[in-house]
Amino acid sequence: MRDFSSYSDLEIWSSFRAGDEDAFAYIYQHQASSLLKYGYQIGKDKALVEDCVHDLFIHLSLHRATINDTTSIKYYLFKSLRRKIIEALDRQQTGERHLKTYFYWTEKKSKSFEENLIAEQTTETQVQNLARHLKDLPPRQQEALYLVYYSNLSYEEIASIMSLQVRTVYNHVHTGLETLRSKMKEPGFERIIPLLILALALQYSAH
Amino acid sequence: MEERYNQYTVADFAADEDFIRWVKNPSQADIVFWEQWISQHPTKASSVKDARILIEAVQFPEYPNLKNSIDQVWRRIENSRQYSTRPLPTTFEEEEVHPSSSVWWKIAATFTGLLMMAGIAYYFVLPKNQIYQTAYGETRRVVLPDGSIATLNGNSSLELGKWEDQREVWLEGEAYFSVQKREDEKTKTPIKFIVHTSDVDVNVLGTQFTVSDHQQTRVVLNEGKIELMLIDKKERIVMQPGDLIEIDKGDKQLVKRTVNPVVYSSWKDNEWILDGISLKEIAKRLEDTYGLKVVVKKDPDPAVKVTGVVPTDDLDKLLIALSTVFNMEFKRQGNEVIIE
């Protein structure tokens, strides 16, 4: 397969639209990983996301002659994939959707009590503790944080993908971060004990 | 540009595109800029540190088996495209008549003769269908002709079907399946894997799940996606990972729950994960898998539910472990287990 790495997005996209099979394969190989990961964040269902990515590329190949130009392939695909996933979720019942969110997080929480206890004593704990609170944020805040930190897309592109104003995306990110930060400030049990001891010691020395 | 940072809070930093780039994927210029900026604003050092922690904390669940999925989806895309761009078949009238068609007929006839003989030999020499069975208390790992694996629990049997255009097995008892994805070499369509039980047919493409066909028929999905076909109602149910579906043999009542699927497949690794299980349930499990008669001498408190992991590779050890976790005595006398 030809190497397109020195080509601009616009050139690769034009080649693909002109019927270049190598360009099509190159686009898939370079975008599949980030598309699947992003889709999984919003769709929470591996099979559904894989179906949507499949459908997206089939749609592209069938309509290659009539689709728009783009200077950012990633942005174009993210936006299209998001639409496909929302449509797919809409076709399912709401109840089923709730179920999915539930599965998704119970899998992640299945660490034993002891494991969590040990983990809390290590230095990475703050990070891990906070990550647990991430799931409690509203879905839009989670999505905005995901895109801002993991997609390499600009606020403008993210706003367009999510069909929001740039300011609104920024607010989602900022509000989410404020919430996480407030969790970071909550003193853990292990941090209270030394304070209690100190308080007691001070009381005694005062007598 | 530097000015605005003077007023920044932790969240302001963590939401700033330039700051994020410095944390995630810095250029040389970013490193120089931020090191210099922090040294000039020592009072902001702790906010910067907290913002970094915050950014690192925002971690999302990873995509399971990403590499595999990337390849699979690509194969599916290629298959679908071939199918959708394939030219329509030419009509019968337009087909050219082959001049040497009589030669082809002769060859075909010879083959048919050979096939008939082979068929007769096959009928007499080979058994109708391959059957795998386990005795009470035995677990057995069976590698099926396609490389899929079925682990049979005690007192179970698995009969293989013809394995031609689809893969079919008939199950009595309990088994854990790890099914390989397969596709037809010519048509590139996935080949189905079907587990038949008395109440349901489980249709699979490639996945891991447990099927149990005792007093209730139970299907628990660990990975992937499967479709149940209820034989009575001719109804289809699509299962997601973590789903448990139970059908009562008597009234055919259907129950759907969300569970930790590992609890239901742990026996294949020679252990039972007890996930809040009552004495009554344990007694039934001992009867189903070991063929023992369980006699409960002392009526237990039905509210007592036990959580833990017990080894099952040795029945005596299992009974000792159960005695400990239930705080009662599990005594074996011949074909009976007496609990007191």
pLDDT exceeds 90 at position A170: yes
Shortest distance between the Cα of B289 and any Cα of chain A, in A, equals: 28
* Cβ atoms A71, A172 nearer than 8 A: no
pLDDT exceeds 50 at position B120: yes
Test the B interface: residue of A40, A177, A186 with most B CBs within 10 Å: A177
- B267 Cβ neighbours under 8 A, 6+ residues apart: B139, B153, B174, B176, B289, B312
SS3 assignment for A132-166: HHHCCCCHHHHHHHHHHHHCCCCHHHHHHHCCCCH
Q: Which of B80, B84, B242 comes nearest A103 by C-beta?
A: B242
Domain A1-109 has CATH 1.10.1740: yes
Q: Which CATH class is domain A111-207?
A: mainly alpha
The whole-angstrom separation of Cα B212 and Cα B220 is 9
Please give the mean pLDDT across all residues of chain A: 78
Test the B interface: residue of A147, A148, A158 with most B CBs within 10 Å: A148
Residues of chain B in contact with residue A46, where contact means CB-CB under 8 angstroms, are 63-64, 69
* Cβ atoms B306, B274 nearer than 8 A: yes
Shortest distance between the Cα of B12 and any Cα of chain A, in A, equals: 7
Q: Among B125-139, B159-173, B310-324, which stretch is predicted with the lowest mean pLDDT?
A: B125-139
> Which residue from B minimizes the CA distance to A52?
B73
Q: Which of A50, A127, A148 comes nearest B69 by C-beta?
A: A50
Q: Which of B20, B53, B64 comes nearest A127 by C-beta?
A: B53
pLDDT exceeds 70 at position B70: yes
Exposure of B77 in the CB half-sphere (CA atoms within 13 A): 25
Q: Which of A36, A50, A149 comes nearest B20 by C-beta?
A: A149
**Secondary structure (DSSP) of chain A:** ----TTS-HHHHHHHHHTT-HHHHHHHHHHHHHHHHHHHHHHH--HHHHHHHHHHHHHHHHHSTTTSPP-S-HHHHHHHHHHHHHHHHHHHS-HHHHHHHHHHHHHHHT---HHHHHHHHHSTTHHHHHHHHHHTTS-HHHHHHHHHHHHS---HHHHHHHTTS-HHHHHHHHHHHHHHHHHHHHSPPHHHHHHHHHHHHHHHHHH-
Report residue A196's pLDDT band, with 50, 70 and 90 as the boundaries: low
B20–A148: do the CB atoms touch at under 8 Å?
yes
Q: What is the pLDDT of residues B327-338, one digit of tens each?
A: 888 888 888 888
**Secondary structure (DSSP) of B38-103:** HHH-GGGHHHHHHHHHHHHH---PPPTTHHHHHHHHHHHHHHHHHHHHSPPPPPGGGSPPPTTHHH
A32–B81: do the CB atoms touch at under 8 Å?
no
A134–B258: do the CB atoms touch at under 8 Å?
no
Q: Which CATH architecture has domain B270-339?
A: 3-Layer(bab) Sandwich (3.55)
> Which residue from B minimizes the CA distance to A28?
B74
At B172, give phi and psi (nearest 5°): -125, 135
Which tokens sit at B39? 């040294």
Average pLDDT over residues B90-96: 32
For chain A, what are the domain ranges? 1-109, 111-207
Residues of chain B in contact with residue A62, where contact means CB-CB under 8 angstroms, are 84
pLDDT at B93: 31
pLDDT exceeds 60 at position B271: yes
Topology agreement, domain A1-109 and domain A111-207: no
Q: Which of B53, B59, B63 comes nearest A40 by C-beta?
A: B63
Test the A interface: residue of B60, B69, B239 with most A CBs within 10 Å: B60
B58–A134: do the CB atoms touch at under 8 Å?
yes
Q: Which of A47, A106, A130 comes nearest B225 by C-beta?
A: A47
pLDDT exceeds 90 at position A144: yes
Report residue A110's pLDDT band, with 50, 70 and 90 as the boundaries: very low
Q: Among A76-90, A140-154, B231-245, B296-310, which stretch is predicted with the lowest mean pLDDT?
A: B296-310
B71 or B118: whose pLDDT is higher?
B71
Q: Is B238 helix (H, G, I), strand (E, B) or coil?
A: strand
Residues of chain A in contact with residue B263, where contact means CB-CB under 8 angstroms, are none
Q: Which of B15, B55, B63 comes nearest A37 by C-beta?
A: B63
Helix (H) or strand (E) holding B22: helix B17-24
- B74 Cβ neighbours under 8 A, 6+ residues apart: A28, A29, A32
CB-based contact (8 Å) between B76 and chain A? Answer: yes
- A64 Cβ neighbours under 8 A, 6+ residues apart: A16, A17, A19, A24
A103–B56: do the CB atoms touch at under 8 Å?
no
Q: What is the pLDDT of residues A4-28, one digit of tens each?
A: 888 999 999 999 999 899 999 999 9
CB-based contact (8 Å) between B11 and chain A? Answer: yes
Please give the mean pLDDT across all residues of chain B: 79
pLDDT at B257: 85
Strand B216-223 versus strand B243-248 pairing type? antiparallel
Residues of chain A in contact with residue B63, where contact means CB-CB under 8 angstroms, are 36-37, 40, 46
Report residue B117's pLDDT band, with 50, 70 and 90 as the boundaries: low
pLDDT at B201: 86
Residues of chain B in contact with residue A99, where contact means CB-CB under 8 angstroms, are 240, 258
Residues of chain A in contact with residue B258, where contact means CB-CB under 8 angstroms, are 99, 102-103, 106
A99–B258: do the CB atoms touch at under 8 Å?
yes
A52 or B324: whose pLDDT is higher?
A52
pLDDT at A194: 58
Report residue B92's pLDDT band, with 50, 70 and 90 as the boundaries: very low
B5 or B188: whose pLDDT is higher?
B5
Report residue B135's pLDDT band, with 50, 70 and 90 as the boundaries: confident
Test the B interface: residue of A181, A183, A185 with most B CBs within 10 Å: A181
Residues of chain A in contact with residue B18, where contact means CB-CB under 8 angstroms, are none
User: If one looks up domain B134-263 in CATH, what number appears?
Assistant: 2.60.120.1440
Q: Is B147 helix (H, G, I), strand (E, B) or coil?
A: coil
